[in-house]
């Protein structure tokens, strides 16, 4: 499959790698290498999937295993025996009286391992269980609002420079991510929102696998096909969903998983590995997320593995500077969600994440959705900024930089309303 292109950008950019090397990033469509995308319906042993039954029996399991083995890594299966959820705090008048806000403490093993604080918002204008968005945040729950009642994150994520006052640092970050999490907009649309800090599940640095959830299940370094941090975070998202299943005000069968940037990579892998997520949303996830790796546009496999060696498994490093050898690409990750709803979004000034490559992943996942007679992206060229396309699979390109904004959320809320219940339309 020859590359498709409709956007042309500046030719190259010099990037400083983690070890001081100068790397060249391509931002010119004419310099994208020729590549062949694997047919998502082609079976490894020969032949081609031609029915839903064949995809679900053979195609999907084989595709999931391939991507798991060569990129994200095997993770533990299911809820651990020591899983525990405790309600720690509740306020009835959050978000200017629009929501009930709760904090739950989630642990995975008795007396050891990390403890995750899940922040949950429940809309006050609804009766009965409501659908929910669940996603991880980067710097702690206190970043969602300036409200001082939210317990601050005091772990490594707020900084650990010598002599630094962690509490003061955490307090200074209150409300810093409010634009990314428009809580009032979400609860007024009838959705609950659950979030937790990703670093409390697994640290976002290469710590030798000594912290987070890895030591609970993996002794020493993970094997080349075992989980990295992206998989650990995805596993954590499934545990947040486990917690929501025990909260009567939430309809846990109607949950959308969402993530931005590296956490957008995480939401896609969580959606692929846990079919309980009925809607999967990726915002500006780029390389290792929605963008096609074989395009080698913006961030590449070699660049991401060099800068973040802990994100993916050891096998993925075989493809550093060698994307052509990848036996799969990210459109097959999107296809793993079929027939559930998937939405991908990009930003015009975020060429590092390759908007064209993100769009093409959604487009080239369509043959699998066609098996279910639900293929509905409706276009073959990337849409103009500000235009949302598709129905079961969706995409938009936003004017602006690498971020998630209320404009993005307006599209996500409309998409989730279509797929998570008549009562929200």
Cβ neighbours for 190, distance < 8 A, ≥ 6 positions apart: 123, 125, 126, 130, 131, 417, 423, 424
Tokens standing for residue 341 = 């709803």
364 catalytic, yes or no? no
How large is the angle between the packed helices 60-67 and 262-273, nearest 10 degrees? 140
Judged by DSSP in three states, 290 sits in coil
Tokens standing for residue 97 = 């009286």
The Cα 129–Cα 143 span in angstroms is 27
Q: What is the DSSP letter of 341?
A: E
Tokens standing for residue 128 = 């009965």
Q: What is the DSSP letter of 69?
A: I
Q: Cβ of 41: how many Cβ atoms within 10 Å?
A: 19
Judged by DSSP in three states, 274 sits in coil
Asked whether the beta carbons of 124 and 99 are under 8 A apart, the reply is yes
261 catalytic, yes or no? yes
CA dist list (Å): 325 to 35, 299, 300: 10, 17, 14
Cβ neighbours for 384, distance < 8 A, ≥ 6 positions apart: 397
The Cα 284–Cα 95 span in angstroms is 27
Judged by DSSP in three states, 243 sits in helix
Annotated catalytic residue, options 176, 376, 391, 402: 402
- With residue 258 as reference, give the H or E element that holds it: strand 250-260
Annotated catalytic residue, options 107, 231, 261, 346: 261
Q: In which residue are the tokens 């339309």 written?
A: 425
* Active-site annotation, residues: 261, 402
């Amino acid at each position: 499959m020859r590359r498709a292109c409709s956007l042309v950008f500046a030719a190259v950019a010099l990037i400083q790698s983690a070890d001081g090397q100068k790397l060249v990033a391509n931002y010119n469509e004419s310099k994208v290498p020729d590549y062949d995308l694997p047919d998502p319906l082609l079976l490894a042993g020969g032949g081609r999937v031609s029915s839903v039954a064949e995809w679900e029996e053979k195609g999907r399991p084989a595709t999931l295993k391939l991507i798991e083995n060569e990129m994200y890594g095997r993770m533990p299966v299911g809820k651990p025996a020591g899983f525990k959820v405790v309600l720690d705090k509740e306020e009835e008048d959050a978000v200017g009286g629009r929501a009930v806000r709760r904090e739950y403490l989630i642990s995975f093993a008795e007396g050891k391992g990390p403890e995750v604080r899940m922040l949950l918002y429940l809309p006050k204008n609804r009766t009965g269980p409501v659908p929910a968005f669940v996603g991880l945040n980067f710097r702690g729950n206190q970043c969602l609002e300036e409200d001082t009642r939210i317990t601050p994150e005091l772990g490594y994520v707020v900084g650990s420079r010598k002599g630094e006052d962690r509490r003061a640092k955490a307090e200074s970050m209150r409300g810093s991510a409010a634009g990314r999490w428009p809580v009032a907009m979400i609860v007024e649309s009838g959705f609950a929102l659950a979030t937790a800090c990703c670093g409390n599940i697994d640290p976002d640095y290469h710590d030798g696998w000594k912290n987070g959830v890895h030591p609970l299940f993996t002794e020493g370094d993970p094997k080349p096909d075992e989980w990295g941090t992206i998989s650990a975070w995805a596993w954590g998202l499934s545990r947040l969903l486990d917690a929501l299943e025990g909260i009567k005000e939430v309809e846990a069968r109607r949950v959308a998983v969402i993530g931005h940037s590296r956490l957008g990579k995480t939401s896609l892998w969580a959606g692929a590995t846990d079919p309980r997520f009925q809607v999967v949303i990726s915002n500006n996830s780029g390389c290792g997320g929605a963008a096609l790796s074989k395009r080698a546009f913006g961030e590449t496999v070699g660049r991401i593995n060099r800068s973040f060696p802990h994100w993916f498994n050891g096998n993925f490093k075989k493809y550093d500077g060698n994307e052509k050898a990848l036996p799969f690409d990210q459109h097959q990750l999107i296809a793993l969600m079929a027939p559930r709803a998937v939405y991908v979004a990009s930003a015009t000034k975020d060429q590092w994440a390759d908007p064209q490559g993100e769009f093409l992943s959604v487009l080239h996942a369509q043959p699998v959705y066609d098996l279910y007679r639900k293929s509905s992206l409706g276009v073959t060229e990337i849409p103009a900024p500000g235009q949302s396309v598709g129905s079961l699979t969706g995409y938009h390109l936003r004017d602006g930089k690498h971020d998630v904004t209320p404009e993005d959320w307006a599209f996500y809320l409309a998409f989730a309303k279509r797929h998570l219940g008549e009562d929200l339309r």
